[in-house]
Structure 1
Amino acid sequence: MTVSLMNDTFAGPDWARQLQRRLADAGRRQGGRETGDHTLNPELGPYARWNGPPRDAAVLIGIVQRDGGPNLILTQRTGHLTSHAGQVALPGGKIDPTDSGPAEAALREAEEEIGLARERVELLGNLPTYLTGSGYRVVPIVGAVREATPYRPNPDEVEAVFEVPLDFLMNPANHQKLSREWQGHRRYFYAMPFGERYIWGVTAGIIRSFYETVIR
């Protein structure tokens, strides 16, 4: 079923329209439902490490059609950052007061982090808001990347930019459910190792949300 839906969604020249329809249909069914780290850890609550209100953020789920099929754009963060150093991440960050909303924030951050010009991204919709254990309310914005040029990673934030085939990421057999001990609790999370890249935590959780929203 997963392979069939994957082929139905991303096959042919009109794949962006098909994905846009799936996102719209899912949005109507879900009715504003939120997801997040707490779905695997209900006893920890949605903001396991934050006592105040959540901070708003947005990330870009940028999909590029290659000869071998659709790929997802991901980044490897630099090792000197104060948070999530060295981790795999989707392009994105906090929503600034000057941003008109999550979509503009995701496009701005992608341009700043990896040199992806916003005019090359066709916005298709968004996934349910994702609540993180570190106190962020993240809106994943889905976009089709047209005529992708070589990426230009910002060395202050991004060590590398790479792509992963959606065939791999949308296969639930590659969605590992792991756990670690955290403040006396067993905390669960998704991981999707891909070659030398270790995709886990919030990034893997958002990819899992994409799978549950569009494919499953």
Structure 2
Amino acid sequence: MAKSDSKNEQVAFRAPDFFARSRAKLSFDVPAGLFDPNIIPASGDPGTDKMLEIVAREQPVRPAAVLIAVVDHPEPTILLTQRSAHLNDHAGQIAFPGGKIDAIDSSPLDAALREAEEEVGLSRDFVEPIGYLDLYGTAFGFRILPTVARVRPGFQLTINHSEVDDAFEVPLSFLMNPANHQVHSKEFRGMERFYYAMPFAERYIWGATAGMLRVLYERIYSS
């Protein structure tokens, strides 16, 4: 981060500073790679990128959208979900509200807002979209475009338990602190894959969710 002393770091993680930085650095330009099958989006990790190249030869890399919902508390938080344990894909994992982009969606933003309403009942009336983060490729065959948004406090959630077991908030100051960005690894098809993990209390935030949080940190605080 450009600001290094603890007092300035505390200011940087306040809501006004985060939203000002985000508005200055993000836009709603949709990257060509979201829908172009000839473009394989990067994750920032060479191992994951190699895995995605393999997956892309076997099946289409599907467009998806998620909502990085930053709740405008004096000490801002990010809203995350825990996926239902019975799901076929990524059961029980920590995720952003979101999912694949459907034909009914007018934009990736619309898809992210729709999914947030369907999964946790987050009303659009409380959401102020700010802009898209970088396109993110996952090793499981998705090209994800995250929307960063300011969320006004006071919303009431209704959890759709067919998709989500729980929703919770994590302090922005924790997630944007690189000291909490651990690098873990596991084997996939004979290759060692490295990925970010940000364990918080009993929650294990890892994989694509942690990777997109790392991208958010790099765009907002490092670039």
Q: Which TM-score band (shorter chain)?
A: 0.7 to 0.9
For residues 185 and 76 of structure 1, the distance between their equivalents in structure 2, rounded to whole angstroms, comes to 28
- Select which of 23, 26, 29 maps to 1:23: 26
- Select which of 56, 62, 73 maps to 2:69: 62
Structure 1 residues 83-111: Cα deviation after superposition (integer angstroms, max 9, x where no partner): 00000000000000010110000000000
Asked whether the 8 Å contact 1:126–1:141 carries over to 2, the reply is yes
- 2:208 alignment partner, SS class: helix
For residues 70 and 3 of structure 1, the distance between their equivalents in structure 2, rounded to whole angstroms, comes to 18
Corresponding residue number in structure 1 for 2:142? 136
> RMSD value over aligned CA atoms?
2.6
The TM-score with structure 1 as length reference comes to 0.87
Q: 1:12 to 1:139 in 2, by over 3 A?
A: closer
- Select which of 193, 210, 214 maps to 1:204: 210
Q: CA deviation at 1:208?
A: 0.6
The TM-score with structure 2 as length reference comes to 0.85
Q: 1:13 to 1:181 in 2, by over 3 A?
A: closer
For residues 13 and 121 of structure 2, the distance between their equivalents in structure 1, rounded to whole angstroms, comes to 25
Aligned residues: 210
Q: CA deviation at 1:13?
A: 4.7
Asked whether the 8 Å contact 1:47–1:131 carries over to 2, the reply is no
For residues 179 and 90 of structure 1, the distance between their equivalents in structure 2, rounded to whole angstroms, comes to 22
- 2:122 alignment partner, SS class: coil
What stretches of structure 1 of length at least 5 have no aligned partner? Answer: none
Q: CA deviation at 1:147?
A: 3.2
Q: Which moved more, 1:138-147 or 1:102-111?
A: 138-147
Q: CA deviation at 1:151?
A: 1.6
